[in-house]
Amino acid sequence: MVTTISTQEPSRERDAGPLFQPYRLGPFNLPHRVVMAPLTRSRARQPGNVPGSLAACYYAQRASAALIVSEATQVSMQGQGYAWTSGIHSREQVEAWRRITDAVHQSAGLMFCQLWHVGRISHPALQPDNMLPVAPSAIIPAGKAFIENERGEGTLVPFVRPRALDIEEMPYVVAQYVRAAKNAVAADFDGVEIHAANGYLLDQFIESGTNRRNDTYGGPVENRARLLFEIVEALTPIWGPDRIGVRISPMGKLNDIGDQNPEATFGYVAERLSEYELAYLHMVNPALEQMQNAKDPDPRALAMAKLVRKKFKGTLIAAGGFDAESGARWLREGWADLIAFGRKFIANPDLPERLRLSAELNTDDPSTYYGGGEKGYTDYPSLAQDRGEQPKPCVDQSWR
């Protein structure tokens, strides 16, 4: 199934450049700066959206990352937006996550749980009692929802008009994150990341294109960002600021999101978040689209990245579109402190070693990104496995 691509000699070791310098992240000493980005894989066990035992193998295989940020994990039933995604709001889910973090820790890894509420990017078929998805404002997003049909298959259906949250419901939304954060403690994660990016609920509040409210959660950016800061403040007594990260996506377009003045909006958000002395701010690369297509970053996108870097005084993780060379350049230029890789980690469980050695990279199979079992999930080999130095990848059904 696996093919390889390479533009360099596989045996030639890259010198220990910026990607392989140690780094102090809150209370953690990281051996290098290659982070595993959150990756939705839609393989949770049903019923109950419980992460399966195979996930323990998957994450343990990738424990050589300086930090693993878990797949986006819904904080409540209301927070779900895709079929077969894992939650962290039930006892069974917490117990399953504990088995995963145990496997990661036994492999000397570090893992944060990404806390997720999708807001309007959902469908009644995914909601408790077939209720409407919620949002800051009742605006239908463009695109389609990924749900399970009556035959148990994944299918795409049009989004519906969401219900605008009442102001009285805001404490309940915060409480969902509080419960999830406490559950992440019980599951023995090393920290949590608040997902405020990619057009999901907190991003929907932050960006003007999806927030038309006229109360204290709408209008000026100070109001639109209020819910995010309330959640940060509510989680701080649980985890401490140095074990909390936040993810944002300035100038992102995913899930029909947009803002009239992203520089002002995300400059404010980054500056305010800096005051909390968090573990990190995780920025989806504003130049993601250009860099994925091997083009020079758009000047405005690069300026946005530099603005966030200037406004946020703590650790900045940049994710999206990076290879070894571009990641090293961003570190050298001071545009980021850590670089997160997503799709490259799907197919290369030992990605840090491959980058360090300039080794061949396994090619990922997009048809296996979402749903399914071990194919395209735990069957990608490491270099050590290719050399016969370690057992073959986890492909047997006993992990289920």
List the catalytic residues: 200
DSSP 172-222: HHHHHHHHHHHHHHHTT-SEEEEE--TTSHHHHHHSTTT----STTSSSHH
Residue holding tokens 């894992």? 86
Tell me how far apart the alpha carbons of residues 61 and 377 are, in angstroms, rounded to a whole number: 10
* Residue 84: exposure state from Cβ atoms within 10 A (0-12, 13-18, ≥19): buried
Nearest CA among 299, 297, 333 for reference residue 316: 333
DSSP 82-134: BTT--BSSSHHHHHHHHHHHHHHHHTT--EEEEEE--TTS--GGGSGGGPPPE
* Residue 256: exposure state from Cβ atoms within 10 A (0-12, 13-18, ≥19): middle
Tell me how far apart the alpha carbons of residues 168 and 114 are, in angstroms, rounded to a whole number: 26
Q: Residues near 233 by Cβ (< 8 Å), separated by ≥ 6?
A: 276
Tell me how far apart the alpha carbons of residues 392 and 389 are, in angstroms, rounded to a whole number: 9
| Measured CA distances, 179 to 35, 281, 345, 369 (Å) | 26, 22, 30, 29
CB 144 within 8 A of CB 122: no
Q: Can you give 226-267 as a three-state secondary structure string?
A: HHHHHHHHHHHHHHCHHHEEEEECCCCCCCCCCCCCHHHHHH
- Would you say the C-alpha torsion 207, 211, 212, 214 has a positive or negative sign? negative
Q: 195 - beta bridge partners?
A: 247
CB 334 within 8 A of CB 341: no
Report how far apart the first and last C-alpha atoms of the chain are (Å, whole number).
21
Q: 28 - beta bridge partners?
A: 25
CB 247 within 8 A of CB 284: yes
